[in-house]
Structure 1
Amino acid sequence: MDPPIQTEETSKIYKDALATLPKGSLDEAKQLVAQAGAPNRALVLAIPEGNEEIRRVATVLQATATQIGLELDLRVPPPADLNTMYYDAKQRKGIDLLWNNDTMAGGSPLSMLGSYVAPDASNNLVNYRDPGVDAAIAKASATPDKVEQAEILAPVLVKMAEDAVLITLYTPNANTFLSKRLTGVGLAYPFFASGIWAPAIGSAR
């Protein structure tokens, strides 16, 4: 998981917290699979149709799964059908993993946490519950100071990673441009259109 970016100070808080997570290795993953026992069927990952970048990453995941003793099958529905799986349990029957591209609005993890781990979160598909996490989200939501908020939320991001609520893979690159008058980016991903991040970067001096 990449650290959220708001200011240099808050980013350091998140980065230092996430740096405490173990890096892991194929050998360790093999040991975990051996200890837990591999399922007697293939795991199924749903990825959107028509996205070559995601297909290539998913193919790497398949190969890696094989190396650690798991079988991973891909299901490739149209994007609209994949989106429906988030809201309709019947549509995701037989699916173990759903691909999702997401971002932290304004550089804060609050929006993401509210979507995936809060008690009433629309994307809390695994019914994740942790009183400590819920209390931290509530406290951070009522804390206007971004540094204090980061200190509250950084341990939550570590907890999420440890519990594998979300399995973050990579941050896609995007071409940006910077001049003395403005900052911009090609809309390779729709959420860039919000423009919340641009004022924080500013312009070239």
Structure 2
Amino acid sequence: MFIKNKAPALVLTELLIVIIIIVILSFSIFMAYVRFLEKTELAFDRSNIAILNSATKIYRSINYDYKSMNAKDLFVNIDTDEKRIEALVRSKCLTNMVTPMHEGAKYKWSVPDQLWVLKISKDFPPLTPLGDNFSEIVPNIIEKMTERFNESGSYGLTWGDRRWTDIGLDPDDWKDKPINHLYFTPGGATLRITIENGYSLRFQDVYG
């Protein structure tokens, strides 16, 4: 019995296929690692924003007086975010300075909202279709729930994918939980909103 050797061209083709498969798998693993690293960095930065808001709440309580109560900004005469964070550290409201980990991220003090927010550079895609941070996302979520209520008399469900599909959003855009500091509990025509410590909401009375 004779065993016929494979043609060199066939062996080379099989080798090329194996190499291509290895390259594709390596690229997929690398991209998965990059996405994991990015998610980790964003989670770290969002955690720091919560810490900054909690520290600022303490700072507000120990610096509370009539003058600060009527001022437009809690950090009177402090004009940069770095100096504001330094003020929290000096007041022992914050253990140490915190800096963003994600590339293009910044911890910004919002004077109108009197809250720390996470800003992502415009060179990067937005964190969600409704914004990059808590103060941008939450009002848009509430607005969509309000639209749903005006149309159907219900705020929709807040569990599983229905939390998003009921108000016209794609669940895939929210699978990494970019907004996990606010909890909506609808009950027919009633909507309960629970806020995690370190965050706050301001409401405008539409009836004046």
TM-score by length of 1: 0.28
| Higher RCO (CA-CA < 8 Å; seq separation 6+) | 1
User: What TM-score do the two structures reach when normalised by structure 2?
Assistant: 0.27
Which structure has the larger Rg over C-alpha atoms? 2
